[in-house]
């Protein structure tokens, strides 16, 4: 049975990919299609889906900057949106009840409030998956969205604790001692190597030390995986561990999206209620944008973060399930919520794939803040006397920086999206500043950039490099541009977009290795002449 499900997911995902849609749209469609033929989710598929979500949150924790959550814009914005959306959704449902809509006519006020609360959440899995596919997990709007989602997860824990009356065990206080174990966990990671033991250690940390431990003491398992990932985020090999888990996690997440379509059998009443709930989705987006605007973010940050969160959350199903067991909601709501979540994914996925185009059009109508009124995160970016700029200071960017600095001195400038990475580079005496090269607002905030003669696009995600190249071309940059690529089709696309030089990192690694060996070992092997 599972083989049929996976085959259907591959076929639908492949078609979606060829239609320039995120593959997860295909996975959702495959689930609905199988459900319509009488197939349903299985315990094995559900288990694999849960494991995928747990690993996803763990890997996000490995990359998450804790300082993001401490910003008042994050915790304050998440709280404000949750309160406003719950209130407005409840008001809308009360109006529908007063109008005599059958599906809401018999519901009490507290039931409508509960539905409004369930609809206020956005999907962590869906949003992060989209950000990863776009290579913008560390972009400003990406970090804002993730911060909001983490706060919503915390709200979820509080709700489940209060509503079920299940107070965490007294042993939960022992979780505060987890930071004391960090030196030991770090030491084990140091010795874990780079192969299958590293992957296995990541799985143990996520599923056993994180999710398992939190579940034992009566806490939300997924939150445990996220927090343990954050605990390990400061280790130099944290990024390597996240990359080693990537393919395994992606495969399991296929089961998650497939499982959504398979989980509930659609009914006519459920479908009609789902359509009503979809009418509330634009209101949810407007509230997100209003909250971000209140925080004085730039239009692009506000709009793209809104599109990322423009969906309903699978958490709504958990709320509905708990409420149904307590007799607070009818069973028809569970079916309606499952369909509304899926429909919101199907709507949000193509919108996010066109997010930059939508922003370009919307920016003509939406008014930007004056520079002095912008959020403190938006400062003018001074290139000073730099003549070479490297976008993306990972391992490749760092290596390029050191080589170019040895040749041209202090005329090299690095730009990196992660603030913790920027701080590390600065400690190593590199001239690196924080910025998102894929953000049009980033280039609008740059000054003294007319002296730039060479820009290197060294971001690990090919899509990000291509979009940064488009930004440079749209601003008529006259210097030279070089970029890295992982695959031949990426290299071809970069040349088509007008890059001056594109380097396949895998091909260039071999030639660079041979060249370095010849230079360091001073090889003088006689060449053989051939006719």
Confidence check: pLDDT of 166 > 60: no
Among candidate residues 257, 346, 366, the one with its CA nearest the CA of residue 304:
366
DSSP letter string, 79-135: HHHHHHHHHHHHHHHHHHHHTT-HHHHT--HHHHHHHHHHHT---HHHHHHHHHHHT
pLDDT digits (tens, 9 = 90+) for 344-397: 888 888 888 888 788 888 877 887 776 667 666 666 677 778 899 999 898 889
In contact, 456 and 391? CB cutoff 8 Å:
yes
pLDDT tens figures, 466-497: 878 887 887 788 889 999 888 888 888 888 88
Structure tokens at 152: 């919503």
Query: Are 6 and 44 a contacting pair, CB within 8 Å?
Result: no
Per-residue pLDDT reduced to its tens digit, 429-452: 999 988 877 766 677 667 656 788
* DSSP state letters, 268-316: HHHHHHHHHHHTTHHHHHHHHHHHHHHTT--HHHHHHHHHHT-S--THH
Among the ranges given (191-205, 280-294, 326-340, 399-413), the one the predictor scored with the smallest mean pLDDT: 326-340
In the chain, ranges of CATH 1.20.1530.20 domains:
2-362
Nearest to 227 by CA among 214, 216, 243: 214
CA dist 253 and 308 (Å) reads: 18
CA distances from 266 to 277, 426, 523 (A): 15, 56, 72
The fourth-level CATH superfamily of domain 381-521 is NAD(P)-binding Rossmann-like Domain (3.40.50.720)
CA–CA separation, 527 vs 520, rounded Å? 19
Q: Read off the tokens for 105.
A: 């006519």
Q: Determine the 3-state secondary structure of 20 from DSSP.
A: coil
CATH 3.40.50.720 placement within the chain: 381-521
2-362: in CATH 3.40.440.10: no
């Amino acid at each position: 049975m599972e083989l049929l499900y996976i085959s259907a997911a591959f076929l639908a995902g492949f078609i979606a990919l060829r239609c320039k849609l995120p593959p997860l749209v295909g996975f959702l469609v495959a689930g609905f299609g199988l459900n319509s033929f009488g197939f349903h989710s299985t315990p094995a598929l559900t288990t694999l889906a849960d494991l995928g979500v747990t690993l996803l949150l763990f890997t996000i924790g490995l990359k998450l900057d804790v300082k993001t959550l401490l910003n008042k814009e994050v915790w304050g914005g998440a709280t404000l949106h949750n309160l406003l959306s719950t209130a407005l959704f409840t008001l809308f449902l009360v109006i529908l009840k007063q109008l005599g809509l059958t599906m809401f006519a018999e519901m009490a006020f507290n039931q409508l409030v509960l539905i409004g609360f369930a609809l206020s959440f956005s999907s962590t899995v869906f949003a992060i998956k989209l950000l990863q596919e776009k290579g913008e997990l560390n972009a400003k709007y990406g970090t804002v969205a993730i911060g909001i989602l983490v706060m919503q997860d915390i709200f979820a824990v509080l709700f489940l604790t209060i509503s079920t009356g299940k107070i965490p065990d007294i042993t939960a206080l022992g979780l505060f001692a987890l930071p004391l174990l960090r030196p030991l966990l770090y030491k084990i990671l140091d010795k874990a190597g780079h192969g299958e033991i590293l992957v296995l250690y990541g799985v143990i940390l996520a599923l056993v030390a994180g999710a398992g431990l939190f579940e034992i003491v009566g806490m939300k398992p997924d939150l445990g995986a996220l927090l343990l990932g954050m605990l390990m985020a400061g280790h130099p090999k944290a990024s390597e561990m996240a990359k080693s888990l990537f393919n395994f996690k992606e495969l399991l997440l296929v089961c998650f999206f497939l499982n959504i379509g398979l989980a509930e059998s659609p009914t006519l009443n459920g479908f009609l209620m789902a359509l009503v709930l979809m009418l509330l989705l634009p209101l949810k987006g407007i509230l997100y944008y209003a909250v971000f605007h209140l925080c004085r973010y730039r239009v692009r940050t506000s709009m793209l973060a809104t599109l990322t969160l423009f969906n309903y959350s699978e958490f709504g199903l958990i709320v509905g399930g708990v409420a149904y067991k307590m007799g607070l909601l009818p069973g028809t709501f569970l079916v309606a919520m499952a369909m509304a979540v899926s429909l919101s994914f199907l709507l949000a996925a193509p919108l996010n794939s066109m997010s930059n185009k939508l922003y370009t059009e919307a920016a003509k109508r939406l008014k930007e803040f004056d520079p002095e009124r912008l959020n403190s995160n938006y400062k003018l970016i001074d290139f000073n006397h730099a003549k070479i700029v490297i976008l993306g200071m990972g391992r490749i960017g760092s290596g390029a920086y050191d080589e170019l600095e040895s040749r041209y001195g202090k005329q090299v400038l690095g730009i990196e999206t992660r603030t913790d990475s920027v701080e590390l580079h600065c400690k190593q005496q590199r001239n690196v500043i924080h910025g998102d090269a894929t953000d049009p607002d980033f280039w609008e905030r740059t000054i003294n950039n007319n002296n730039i003669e060479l820009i290197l696009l060294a971001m690990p995600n090919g899509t990000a490099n291509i979009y940064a190249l488009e930004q440079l071309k749209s601003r008529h940059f006259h210097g030279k541009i070089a970029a890295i690529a992982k695959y031949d089709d990426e290299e071809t696309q970069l040349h088509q977009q007008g890059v001056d030089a594109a380097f396949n990192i895998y091909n260039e690694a071999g030639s660079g290795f041979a060249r370095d060996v010849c230079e360091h070992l001073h090889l003088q092997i006689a060449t053989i002449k051939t006719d």
